Amino acid sequence: MRPRLLVAIALVAAASACSAESVPIGDVPALPTTTPAEVHALLDASTLPVVLNVWASWCGPCRSEAPLLRSAAAESGDTVRFIGIDVRDTQDEARGFIAEFGLDGIEHYIDASGAVPNDLGGRGVPITFFFAPGGRLVSMHSGVLDERSLALGIDEISRTVP
């Protein structure tokens, strides 16, 4: 009985430790809608390298990489622009996801049709693109990001700054 009690206490402690970084959903503004043309214009005009992450609130793997993106944006947000494209989602679900993971440090847009990632040459969710300033694609990562891949992508685009 005692080991089971210890396991139960550990699980409750783990559950209570979660969501420490979350923000109230009311503080998350509605996401502006976007199109492939608008995203291209945004990338072309950017003087900073860009990490563009395609996500959705219904996507389990996106939940796994969200804390990593939050940390990376907090660490490199001054020198790298972080953009999130939420695809095939609703405003409420998207804002809930941003609030749950404290992703308010990232610039988010909503793409209800899911046309943006297809236009950029990627398929599936999640997918992450790494752009040099001016919108040149340096690399693309399909699937869940891990720490090394994200750090490498950021380091690579950071070295493209003149």
Partner 1 sequence: MEFGLLAAALIAAVCVRLTLAAEAATVAPEQDSGRLRDLALVSAFVGLGVGRIGAMVAGGTNPLSHPLDVLILRGGVDTVLASVGAVVAFGIAARRALVVTADAIAPAVIAGLAGWHAGCFTRGACLGTPSNLPWSISGPSGVGRHPVEIYAAVLLAAAAVVALVLLKTRHARPGMIAGLAIGFVSGARLATEPMRLGIGNSPLWWYAGGVAAGGAAVAAAIVVGRHRG
Q: Whole-angstrom Cα distance, residue 54 to residue 125?
A: 6
Check residue 33 and report its DSSP letter: B
15-54 footprint of partner 1 as x/- string (CB under 8 A): x-xxxxxx--------------------------------
Q: Does position 72 bind partner 1 by CB under 8 A? A: yes
Q: Does 105 bind partner 1 (CB under 8 A)?
A: no
Tell me the chain's radius of gyration from C-alpha atoms: 17
> Do the beta carbons of residue 87 and residue 111 sit within 8 Å?
yes
Residue 90 in contact with partner 1, rule: CB under 8 A: no
Q: Which residue has the tokens 């939940």?
A: 63
Q: What is the closest distance, in whole angstroms, from the C-beta atom of residue 46 to partner 1 in the complex?
A: 17
Q: Rounded to an integer, what distance in angstroms lies between the CA atom of residue 37 and that of residue 79?
A: 24
Q: Which stretch binds partner 1 (CB under 8 A): 30-38, 40-48, 110-118, 132-140?
A: 132-140
Q: Contact region for partner 1 (CB under 8 A) — 27-35, 83-91, 97-105, 117-125?
A: 97-105
- Rounded Cα gap, residues 98 and 105, in angstroms: 9
Closest listed residue to residue 116, CA positions, set 132, 128, 99: 128
Q: Which is nearer to partner 1, 100 or 111 (CB)?
A: 100
Which of 35, 60, 80, 129 touches partner 1 by CB under 8 A? 60
- Out of 88, 91, 105, 151, name the contact with partner 1 by CB under 8 A: 151
How many chain residues touch partner 1 (CB under 8 A)? Answer: 43
CB 127 within 8 A of CB 143: yes
